[in-house]
Amino acid sequence: MNSKTIFGIVAISLLGLCCIAVAGLSIYSIVINPQVKQGLESFNEQMKSLLELQSKVAETYSCDSVQVNINNGHILGITLINPDVENFPTEQWNQKSKEVAIFVLQNYKSIDTIDTIIINITQQIKVGITISSSQSYTYKVEELK
């Protein structure tokens, strides 16, 4: 073996040891550190609640896609992309968006952390590029109760 080969083997070995050390520290942070563990469990629970909400909205309101997000920890955004025109006519978007907001209020498990619900209704056309038109409706949780 020449010196370049030996140097390469040593460098790879050191890199492997560093990866093991970082992995061990990460495991400590996640498993042993109670604050990190609690934070990750809370995040995991919130993500699970958001995915369940997304599925329920998609099942109830026929559209191409449903996007769900949390902004600043207290604003829940729901975007309905290309809702079914028969069940969601343009002239009734205001009324229908409030219906969706009430549905969200009743079906989101972590609603106690939310003070605002924003319903976005988006029409998209894809012709090489995506052309979108959106209308947003904002509701305070207290007003919906």
62 backbone dihedrals φ, ψ, rounded to 5°: -65, 120
Cα(87)–Cα(46) distance, rounded to whole angstroms?
Answer: 30
pTM of full prediction above 0.75: no
Cα–Cα nearest to 100, from 43, 44, 139: 139
Cα(92)–Cα(98) distance, rounded to whole angstroms?
Answer: 10
Span 52-101, pLDDT tens digits? 999 999 999 988 999 999 999 899 999 999 988 777 787 888 899 999 99
Neighbours of 115 (CB within 10 A): 14
Cα(135)–Cα(85) distance, rounded to whole angstroms?
Answer: 15
Span 6-52, pLDDT tens digits? 443 433 444 444 445 445 545 555 556 666 667 667 777 888 899 99
Domains of the chain: 48-144 (3.30.300)
Residue 89: strand, helix, or coil: coil
